[in-house]
Homo-oligomer: A and B are copies of this chain.
Amino acid sequence: MIQGKLMKELHKFDESEEMYLKTIAEISRHGNLVPVTNIAERLSISTVSASEMVHRLQDRGLLEHTPYKGVRLTDDGMNRAEGILRRHRLWECFLTEHLGLPWKQVHDFACQLEHVSEDTLTDALDEHLGFPSFCPHGNPIPPTQGVLEVRETTPLSDLGVGQEGVVLCIREEDGEILDYLDARAVRPGSRVRIEEIAPYDGPRSVLMDGEQQVLGREVAEHILIELVHGNETE
């Protein structure tokens, strides 16, 4: 395909591809296979389209698809994905610290900016920000090289009544939840204790930095905690 230079550049970063890689990386977290269905769901596209694209990405050597099982990123794919997360989180730092924007906007804008940052730009940004290790939501920023530091975390939803911890990060795949938690001043570093859990694994009453709050289980699943005390998960 012979095509104009300028217009070609528009598609250089292949945003669609990047969205897939990022999504897969976010879902897989623990190295397990990611069902194509989940990808489709998260991207709000049909399973047929997702399936098609998965094939394309496999052809490009970015992932491996085990039919009826799921998908796993190759090293190449993982590198790409981490690059995107890196860009995303660095931009989040900038948007938060320098522009003072609220979490929701920070996330949404970063979702756009992550696709238009070449390494030179990203690295310059990194330096400008003082090489931060975590995004405003507490997620680690993948380094240019080397392995992403993994921290031991427990979803708030797994804590039992009386257990205490400190918020390490909020899983940021979902923009909505960030808005919700931003408004409730739930931040990395917040001290939290479960006061009560409603029947049927229902909403949690928690003490968050001394403030009484009620959080649904779904929300609690997205808040990752470092246990304090010697308390074991129930």
Contact = CB atoms under 8 A, between A and B. Distances in A.
Interface of A: 3-7, 9-10, 15-16, 19, 42-45, 95, 98-101, 105, 109, 111-113, 115-118, 120-121, 124-125, 127-128
A125 B99 contact: yes
Contacts of A6: 19, 42-44
Contacts of A117: 109, 112
Contacts of A112: 9, 116-117
Given A5-B44, A6-B19, A43-B7, A99 B121 contact: yes
17 contacts: A4-B45, A5-B44, A6-B19, A6-B42, A7-B16, A7-B43, A7-B45, A9-B111, A10-B19, A95-B121, A98-B128, A99-B121, A99-B128, A100-B124, A101-B121, A109-B118, A109-B120
A203 to B, nearest CB: 27
A118 B4 CA distance: 27
A183 B116 CA distance: 26
A108 to B, nearest CB: 8
Contacts of A16: 7, 10
Contacts of A15: 10
A110 to B, nearest CB: 10
Contacts of A10: 15-16, 19
Contact of A113 (B44, B98, B105, B116): B116
A19 B100 CA distance: 30
Contact of A99 (B7, B101, B124): B124
B7 A44 contact: yes
Contact of A116 (B19, B116, B128): B116
A105 B122 CA distance: 12
A9 to B, nearest CB: 8
A45 B15 CA distance: 22
A105 B119 CA distance: 11
Contact of A121 (B3, B45, B109, B116): B109
